[in-house]
Structures are given as structure tokens and as C-alpha cells.
Amino acid sequence: MVHYLIGNLGHLMIILSLVTAFVSFIAYFKAVQMKNLTWERYANWSYYFHVLSLIGVLIVLFLIINKHYFEYHYAWNYSSKYLPIYYQISSFWNGQEGSFLLWMFWNAMLGLVLIKTNKFWKSSVMAVMTFTQFCLTTLILGVVIFDLKIGSSPFLLLRDVVQDSVFVVNPEFIPEDGNGLNPLLQNYWMVIHPPTLFLGFASTVVPFAYAVAGLWMGKFKEWIRPALPWAQFAAMILGIGILMGAYWAYETLNFGGYWNWDPVENAIYIPWLTLIAGIHTMIAYKKNENALKAALILVLVTYLLILYSTFLTRSGVLGETSVHSFTDLGLSGQLLLFLVLFLLGCIMLLVSVWKKIPSTDKEISVYSREFWIFMGATVLCLMAFQVVIPTSIPVYNEVLGIFGIMSNLAPPADPAQFYSKFQLWFAVGIALLSGTGQFFWWRQMNFRTFKTEIQRPLMISLIVSTIIFVLAEVREVPYMVLLTASIYSITANCAILLRLKRTNMKLSGGSIAHIGVGLMLIGILFSSGYSKILSKNNTGLLYSNEFPDEINLNNLLLFLNEPREMGDYSLVYKGIRKKTLDLGYVDANLLTETDNPLLLQATEDIYIDSELRISKGDQVQITNNENSYFEVLYKKDNGDQFVLYPRVQLNNQMGTVYSPDIKRTFTADMYTHVRTFPDPAQETDWGEIQEYQVAVGDDFFINDYVATFKKMERIEQIEGVSLRENDVAVKAFIEIQGEYQNYMATPIYLIKDQMAGKIPMIVYDLAAQITIESIDPEEDTFTFGVRRSQKDWIIMEAVEKPFINLLWIGTLLLCFGFFIAILRRYEEFMTFRNKGLES
Amino acid sequence: MKKSHIIGILVIAMAMGIILITAGDASSYVTFDEAKRRESDGDRSKIHVVGKLKKANSDEVIDIIPSDDQLSFTFVMLDESGAEQKVFHPNPIPQDFDRSEQVVVVGSYQKGLFIADKILLKCPSKYQEEEIKI
């Protein structure tokens, strides 16, 4: 039965939240204009209703997914029956509509906090907030007025989205199961990364709202104090969100890194940079009024860039240039409209008050902290500018297309190399400025004091860098420069930190964040610059003479149980495994499917560490039957060894997805992923039969392995065959000595209803199929038939990434620095607010 | 001249430089004929070619040939103008390669053969939901 009620309820609540958002916007607007507390109270109540109905929408959508109402397109398209609850949560934001909802949810929560913490700014800031909320809500409205589609509702019935003949026959048809969650998103990071990133997205609206409110009310300076902790909060959360995304990509995708310069990644990196630039100018405004205009512009631009990135990733304009843009929902017009609306609004607002914004003609001194902050912000902006120009290439093509000009511009063919050649030098600039700027931060400086201050950190960093050059064999000049600059930044900021330890640790946010940046840069430098493909093909065999020599084959072919040398390692592929809930990795050939996709049954006794853990016929629990793991043993000459389990997921809808496995040590990560393996759907091609006539106790060869015919037994029962009185069944026991273990093959010969039957035994590890072909009772011998196939194999790539941990540690430190800074600035805001000095 | 003016001019100069270098480094979507012409002109920059895999009349993809060791392969691609070209890719055949409805290769000609450093696939199943399994 189709559940109509719940969807209608959801849609009703969307409409309710749209109306309440609009009502609160109008009421807050009135409250500002008329300076009237009644309007404000009215607006607050309307806002609370908005939040409630929005939460209602979220609950309804989640229930539809959780209760598997596959008559709804959203549940059908993004979830399935056996999806664990935490992945049901990820299904929620798998689709565009759900991710908009997530964004709106955070917006709504932030609004509640703002109402709670503000007095003077409440109405004006909330007017801006509710307006953005109104715009966002229209995106999930899903109403068509005169052929004009406004928004896309998450509560559409499947039959309204997918045209299928089944609905003509039976409109009430409900599919048995859903499409399931995109396998790439079935990762714990995808449960927490999107909410974090969207919280970051959402919180950029707060400084924006303060800036707009400041311009609107003529409080050109005063908006900064309350906005600053929020800007820092947004930067921190966005930073963590980006880090999680990078880590997810590193762990799950198989492009071999954490950052791909994909437009979707860039789209969030750009506003993050401008936001950080904005924070720096917001800090500098007290001493230098010119910083004020810069702060205003940067905060406004950051939010516009957030809207622009939403437009890029969700309008379909990126087309084939990005691997992970969303499905085009036909919202591009609406998204563009918002972007233009906000852009024009900001420009008009700025122009109307530009003359009134205080500024100064006074030239700033090189020995003032503001000078260094300005320089830092400038470099950050250039960094963002450099990324936004090429990322927008698909947009240029579209725009030129409108004017009838065919443009065939494509993004740079090697993005990593292209972006790095700019970003590296900007990073050098950032490192030098963040190191040097800190000295001016805490003390009045002149040339002489500056010289004495800078001497020691400069000396230390030069010495440390030289040692690293020698030890890590850094030879490339750009890398040497970046490394030295980063170490200089770390030492200089450490020196400041030590001084602050004696005075006031509350002020240490800046230096801790800058130390984090220095570590990040070193981590990026080593893990990317010195990332080494270990699996380079060194067989010396050229594929074909017609190909140029410079083509590198980066992958390695491994046959089952056949060791191959790779650098310092000896590698052995040991077979396909299933990951069980309680017993870890178990040989996939010993397990068979049951009716429940989350349970597998053992076809043999299974030994783990030579201990019987699963008896034949027992069932084991797994988390996902689509996943299989390739066991690869890494051995070093000195006896060190470890095992990696790169994964493959075979998903009906999305095809085959590979994920790497990583061996982590402090100095380097060993990153391994499988590129391809024999298609499991393909029938095994068993070759010609070879016959061996042997007696009990004889040795013979099976696929080049020594085999011994141990014994034979008459058996009374065979699984799946009912034996009658006159039937005879015989089982032979053949022990085969493999490279790593012995196998017992037990083929069966039976005579049933006077017909001979052969039940073969397959030893997968040895790629051999063994049958009893005939029995010669007079000579007391058996004739075994042996068929061979190609051994199981994988093609894999192994990459070593040195010091990638510094990147993760550095990012965390950066965010921790922001956290300390937020506390300090928020405290400052509260003190002033409680004194009634908000404006 | 004031310091801030000098800095301003420097920033503008850098921004212009970024735009110019980006324009120079940007790749382009071209046909195989155009790519061949560029190679003979000595232009070794990498380009994008959009197209489809060659199919037999039975709608089956043909002419995908893996190397003996499976580590690389060649295939035949038709660009948007319909021109046929043998393409070499130094990696194993991606899964679902033959199911893709559109292929973008990024690379360049070398000795008359198109070497694709990167292959982007658009698979029909990935983003669209068309059929309902009962």
C-alpha cells in the first residue's frame, strides 16, 4: 500500500517552513525599520515555528528512508532494505534535496543561537538570516507554476519521477528494494563529513549577516566584534570539513591521494581562503581603518563564493569535468537567480554607503602589524583567485555559448602540476609572512629590534632545514624553499608561543594555528612531492614496439600465492576474503551465500591461526555482501611483514568500486589499491583434462604441486543427493602441498541407479579441479582427472606517501588554534554586550 | 609613489599573470584531426577528446585489446566528428569500460598513436535511474 499521508505531511511542512521563514523575514525587517519590539517578538515566534516545521520535514524524510517506503523516489533511489542505520543517515544527504535540508537545518540552528546571544543585532542579523533561509527553502519546494519549476521536493513518489510501464499497469506498485546508497558513500566519514561541511557552509552566513546588518544600520565598525568569533568558527568548521573530505578521498577513492583539484573540492577551498583573509583584516581593523573596507568586502565575497560554489556543483554546469557533482535537478536557473540577487544586493548596499565607511589616507608602516596582515590577506586572496579562474572554465564555455560563440576550453590536463606551480609559491609567501608577522603582533618594532628578534628563529630554521635536506634528500629548489619557509614559520611561532605561555595563553590561538599551517605545508610537500609509486613495472618487457618508451606502467600483476619483488618488499597475493563481523577476514571460497545477504555459510571447516573457528555449515555475520577484500602480504628482507586488504565493492547499480587499504606508520603510509581482477561473473575456463592413474599412497602432480593419494572411503551420505540401497559412493582423499599450506581435495565417485556420477573438487588456491574418472578394482587404482585454469590474479598499484601524518596533525592544530581564538573573541563580545556596548 | 600603490600594482600584475598563464595552460576539447594537426605543428600540449567507443552493428563494443600482461590496453574510439582512432592507455581496462556511453580521453599524439593519460567515463547507470527492477 502506498503511504500517501507521510509524503503529503512532509510537503505541507515544507510549505509551512517557507511561509514562516518569509513571515519572520518581513517581521524582522519591520522590527529594524520601526525599532519596534513587538515586531521582533512576533518575528521570533514565527521563526520558532519555522524551525519546528523544518525539523518536521527532516523527521518525515528520515522516516521514509528508515521505514523503506520505496514508493518514494528518495528512499528508492538512495537507500535499500539492508542498509544499516548509520548509512541510512548518509542516504539522507545522498540526494541534492537532502543536502539542502541539511544546510537549512544548520542555518536554522545558528539562527536560534543568534536570537539567544544578541540584543542589539538580533533583528537586523536575523532579517538577513531568514531571507537566506527563505531562498534555500524554495529550492526544495517542488511546485510548478505555469511551467516554471520552483525547487525540487524530496517527497516525490517514484511513479512521478520514473516513467515505467509497470506504473501504467499498476499505479500502486511498490518496488521490493531500493537502489541502495552509492558505494563510495558507504564509509563512516560520509556519515560525519557532510554535516560538518554543511555546518561550515551554513555558518559563513553569520559574518555575512553581521556585515550586511552593519552596512544597513550604519554601524560600519561595530559589526566586527560579534562577527569575528563566528567567522573564526566558520573557518574552523570548514577546515575540519575539508580535512574530513580529503581523508575520505584518501581512504576510499582510488586516485591515490587526498586532493585532486576537482572543481567540487576547489569550490570549497576558494571561500575558505577568502574567509581566512577576511578574518585577518577583521583583526586588523582596530588600528587601521583601511582594513575595514577590506574586511567588509572579504566577508561579503566569501558568502557570494559559497553561493557560487553551490551553483557550480549543483547546476550541472561542471558536466564531465567533475567526478562528484550532483545530479542536475533543473535548479540551475534558480541557483543562478539567487547568486545574482545576492551579488547585486551586496554591490548596491556597498555603493550606497561606500563614502560613509571610515577610511584613512595614512600610509602604513612596514613595522606595523597591519602591514603584515595586509600582505598575508593579499596572498590568501591571490591564492583563491588563482584557483577560481581555471575552476570556472566550464562557466566561460557556457557564457560564451549564450552569445553563440563555441568555446572548447577544457581544464588543464594535469591539474596537480598546474595548480601546484602557483600554490607552492603562495604557500611560501604565507609561511614567511605568518612567521614574520607574529613578531610585530606583540611588540612595537623598529629595524633594530626586528633584527634581534628574527635572528634566532632564522638561524634555527636554516639549520633544521639543512639537516632535513640531507636526511630526506630534498634536492628540488622549490621544495627546498617551501620547506625552509615552513620551518621558519613553525620556529618563529613556537618562539611566540613560549613567550605567551608565561603571559596569557588565551592569546595563543594565532601562533598555534600558524604552527599548524607550517606542519600542513611540510606534510603536503612530502606526501605529494615525494609520493613514490613502488609498483612501477620493472619486468623489462616492453608491451609493444609501436609505443613510445616514456610510458610508465605503474601497476603490478600478482598471481595467487606467487611472490613478486617490489622495491624492498616481497609481495604475495593470498586470495579473496570476506570481512566477518566477529572473526575478521575469512577466505571467500569457503563461504557461500544464504537467503539473508548479511549472513554467509561456511562450506568447509574454517581455521584461523590453525584453530577451528567456524565449523562447516555454521553461519557468519558480515556487514556488506558486496564487499570483497584482496589479501596482500608485504614482507621485508629483515623479516618485517604486514598484510593489506584493499577492497572491491560490486554494486548492481553503480558497478565496481575499488578502495585502497593503507598501512600507516609515522614516517610514511603504504597505500595499496587494486585496479582490476578477474571478472567474478565470468565462468572459469577449465582446460584440457589430464589423467593420472594412482594407487593409495602414490605421489603425483597437480598443477605442478606434489599431491599424495592418502586414502579412499566409502561414504553413506552426500549432501544434496539421496542415496538408495543399491547406490555406491566413494570419496578419495588427496593431500596437495601448496606454497603456504596443504590442501585436502576430496572428489567423489558415485554409482546411483546404475549410472556413474562424478562430483569434482575445486582447489581455488591452486586453480585445479579434480575428479575421480574411474576406479579399477582389479589393480586397486584410481584414475584422477585434473583440469587447470588460470590462477587467480590482481593488478594493483602501491604508493608510498611519506609524512602524510604531518598534514593531518597540522590541520587539527590549525583548527585548535581557531578554537582558542574563538573563545577569546567570543568572551570579548560577551563582555561588551553585557555592558550594553554592543553598538 | 606610495607603498600601497606599488603593492597594488604588483597584485594587479600577478593577477594578470595568473590569467595569462591559465589561458596558456588550459587544455581544450578537440577532435582527433585537430589533435593530429597540432602534433605535426610541434604542439605537444595535452588535449581532451570527447567521443564514444567503437561498436559493431550488433551494438557490441569491439576492438578493446588488453596487453598480454593486462597492465595496459588499446581501444578504438570515435570522436564527435565520427573519426576513428586507436588509443593506448597505460593502465588496466577500467571496470564497466565497455558500458560507458561517453568517453573523454586526455592526452596527446605520440608517433601517430593517441596516448591517453587519463580516461573519464560517463556510465549510464551511475547518475541516472531509468529502470525499476522487480
Domains of chain B: 28-126 (2.40.50.140)
Using the predicted structure, report yes or no on whether residue A278 has a pLDDT greater than 50: yes
In eight-state DSSP terms, residue A365 is P
For residue A824 the three cell numbers come to 577569546
For residue A804 the three cell numbers come to 602524510
Inter-chain touch B18–A385, beta carbons under 8 Å: yes
pLDDT of residue A839: 60
Question: For the residues of A79-119, what is the DSSP string, one character each?
Answer: --TT--HHHHHHHHTTSHHHHHHHHHHHHHHHHHHHHHH-S
pLDDT of residue A540: 46
pLDDT of residue B83: 87
Inter-chain touch A320–B102, beta carbons under 8 Å: yes
For residue A229 the three cell numbers come to 568569533
Whole-number percent of chain A with pLDDT over 70: 96
How far apart, in whole angstroms, are the C-alpha atoms of residue A178 and residue A765? 36
B57: distance to nearest CA of chain A, Å? 24
Inter-chain touch B99–A162, beta carbons under 8 Å: no
pLDDT of residue A594: 87
Q: What is the CA radius of gyration of chain A?
A: 33
**Chain B residues lying within 8 Å of A547, measured CB to CB:** 88, 111, 113, 115
pLDDT of residue A542: 47
Cβ burial, residue A725 (10 Å; 0-12/13-18/19+): exposed
pLDDT of residue A631: 95
**Confidence class of residue B65 from pLDDT cuts 50, 70 and 90?**
confident
A&B contacts, CB < 8 Å = 139
pLDDT of residue A551: 58
Residue A759 one-letter amino acid: I
Residue A195 CB coordination number (10 Å): 21
**Chain B residues lying within 8 Å of A363, measured CB to CB:** 2-4
Inter-chain touch A363–B4, beta carbons under 8 Å: yes
pLDDT of residue A375: 92
A665: distance to nearest CA of chain B, Å? 28
Q: Which one of B1, B50, B95 makes the best mutation probe of the A interface by having the most chain A beta carbons within 10 Å?
A: B95
Q: Do A644 and A664 meet the contact criterion of CB atoms below 8 Å apart? A: no
* Mean pLDDT, range A374-385, rounded to an integer: 94
Inter-chain touch A655–B125, beta carbons under 8 Å: yes
Q: Which one of A544, A545, A673 makes the best mutation probe of the B interface by having the most chain B beta carbons within 10 Å?
A: A544
Which one of A158, A409, A676 has the shortest CB-CB distance to B92?
A676
Best mean pLDDT range from A72-86, A197-211, A494-508: A197-211
A607: distance to nearest CA of chain B, Å? 33
Helix or strand (DSSP H, E) at A401: helix A393-402
Question: For the residues of A593-620, what is the DSSP string, one character each?
Answer: E-SSTTEEEESS-EEETTEEEE-TT-EE
pLDDT of residue B11: 92
Q: Measured between CB atoms, does B124 come within 8 Å of chain A?
A: no
Using the predicted structure, report yes or no on whether residue A146 has a pLDDT greater than 80: no
Inter-chain touch A544–B67, beta carbons under 8 Å: yes
Residue A757 CB coordination number (10 Å): 14
Q: Do A385 and B18 meet the contact criterion of CB atoms below 8 Å apart? A: yes
- Average pLDDT score, chain A: 88
Whole-number percent of chain A with pLDDT over 90: 43
**Chain B residues lying within 8 Å of A367, measured CB to CB:** none
pLDDT of residue A541: 47
**Chain B residues lying within 8 Å of A390, measured CB to CB:** 22, 25-26
How far apart, in whole angstroms, are the C-alpha atoms of residue A604 and residue A606? 6
C-alpha distances out from residue A489 to A427, A471, A821, Å: 11, 21, 19
Residue A453 CB coordination number (10 Å): 20
Inter-chain touch A543–B92, beta carbons under 8 Å: no
pLDDT (tens digit, 9 = 90+) per residue, A629-655?
999 999 988 888 999 999 998 877 667
Q: Measured between CB atoms, does B2 come within 8 Å of chain A?
A: yes
Paired sense of beta strands B84-89 and B113-122, if any: parallel
Asked which of A39-48, A121-130, A361-370 is least confident by mean pLDDT, the reply is A361-370
**Confidence class of residue A504 from pLDDT cuts 50, 70 and 90?**
confident
Q: Measured between CB atoms, does B28 come within 8 Å of chain A?
A: yes
pLDDT of residue B108: 86
Q: Do A662 and A251 meet the contact criterion of CB atoms below 8 Å apart? A: yes
Question: For the residues of B69-99, what is the DSSP string, one character each?
Answer: TSS-EEEEEEETT--EEEEEESSPPPTTGGG
- CA geometry: angle A45, A50, A55, nearest 5 deg: 130
pTM: 0.89
A282: distance to nearest CA of chain B, Å? 19
Q: Do A186 and A624 meet the contact criterion of CB atoms below 8 Å apart? A: yes
Using the predicted structure, report yes or no on whether residue A605 has a pLDDT greater than 90: no
pLDDT of residue A543: 46
pLDDT of residue A538: 55
- The alpha carbon torsion through A309, A315, A321, A323 (nearest 10 deg) reads 90
Q: Which one of B6, B16, B70, B131 makes the best mutation probe of the A interface by having the most chain A beta carbons within 10 Å?
A: B70
Q: Measured between CB atoms, does B40 come within 8 Å of chain A?
A: no
Asked which of A266-280, A339-353, A511-525, A643-657 is least confident by mean pLDDT, the reply is A643-657
Mark A126-136 as b/e (b = at least 16 C-beta within 10 Å). Answer: bbbbbbbbbbb
Which residue in chain B is spatially nearest to A182 when comparing CA positions? B126
* Mean pLDDT, range A19-33, rounded to an integer: 95
**Chain B residues lying within 8 Å of A539, measured CB to CB:** 69
Which one of B15, B71, B99 has the shortest CB-CB distance to A555?
B71
pLDDT of residue B99: 77
* Mean pLDDT, range A48-56, rounded to an integer: 97
CA-nearest of A203, A238, A204, A207 to A224 is: A207
**Chain A residues lying within 8 Å of B4, measured CB to CB:** 363-364
pLDDT (tens digit, 9 = 90+) per residue, A447-484?
788 888 888 889 999 999 999 999 888 889 999 999 99
Using the predicted structure, report yes or no on whether residue A724 has a pLDDT greater than 80: no
A729 phi-psi bin (left φ>0, alpha ψ -120 to 50, beta other):
beta
Using the predicted structure, report yes or no on whether residue A32 has a pLDDT greater than 90: yes
For residue A83 the three cell numbers come to 542498509
Using the predicted structure, report yes or no on whether residue A94 has a pLDDT greater than 70: yes
How far apart, in whole angstroms, are the C-alpha atoms of residue A451 and residue A433? 15
A71: three-class secondary structure by DSSP? coil
Using the predicted structure, report yes or no on whether residue A537 has a pLDDT greater than 80: no
- Per the listing, cell 559563513 goes with A204
For residue A366 the three cell numbers come to 612596514
Using the predicted structure, report yes or no on whether residue A367 has a pLDDT greater than 60: yes
Phi, psi of A581 (to 5 degrees): -70, -40
* Mean pLDDT, range A547-566, rounded to an integer: 76
* Mean pLDDT, range A182-194, rounded to an integer: 82
Q: What is the CA radius of gyration of chain B?
A: 21
Which residue in chain A is spatially nearest to B114 when comparing CA positions? A547
pLDDT (tens digit, 9 = 90+) per residue, A645-696?
999 988 776 677 888 999 998 889 999 999 888 877 777 788 888 888 888 8
Q: Measured between CB atoms, does B67 come within 8 Å of chain A?
A: yes
- Which is more confident, A553 or B17? B17
CA-nearest of B95, B88, B115 to A673 is: B95
Question: Can you give the residue ranges of every domain in chain A?
Answer: 1-181, 227-411, 437-531+803-839, 561-677, 690-789
How far apart, in whole angstroms, are the C-alpha atoms of residue A130 and residue A124? 10
CA-nearest of A313, A198, A301 to A245 is: A198
B29: distance to nearest CA of chain A, Å? 5
pLDDT (tens digit, 9 = 90+) per residue, A390-403?
999 988 988 888 88
**Chain B residues lying within 8 Å of A790, measured CB to CB:** none
Q: Which one of A71, A323, A371, A389 makes the best mutation probe of the B interface by having the most chain B beta carbons within 10 Å?
A: A389
pLDDT of residue A196: 94
Using the predicted structure, report yes or no on whether residue B42 has a pLDDT greater than 70: yes
CA-nearest of A152, A160, A180 to A2 is: A160
How far apart, in whole angstroms, are the C-alpha atoms of residue A554 and residue A552? 6
A718: distance to nearest CA of chain B, Å? 36
Q: Do A675 and A660 meet the contact criterion of CB atoms below 8 Å apart? A: no
pLDDT of residue B131: 52
Using the predicted structure, report yes or no on whether residue A446 has a pLDDT greater than 90: no
pLDDT of residue A595: 86
Q: Which one of B67, B69, B110 makes the best mutation probe of the A interface by having the most chain A beta carbons within 10 Å?
A: B69
pLDDT of residue B113: 82
Which residue in chain A is spatially nearest to B122 when comparing CA positions? A320
CA-nearest of A313, A309, A312, A302 to A277 is: A302
Helix or strand (DSSP H, E) at A472: helix A447-472
* Mean pLDDT, range A157-172, rounded to an integer: 83
pLDDT of residue A306: 96
How far apart, in whole angstroms, are the C-alpha atoms of residue A415 and residue A389? 13
pLDDT of residue A273: 97
CA-nearest of A270, A265, A350, A261 to A305 is: A270
Using the predicted structure, report yes or no on whether residue A819 has a pLDDT greater than 80: yes
Q: Measured between CB atoms, does B107 come within 8 Å of chain A?
A: yes
- Average pLDDT score, chain B: 81
* Mean pLDDT, range A732-738, rounded to an integer: 89
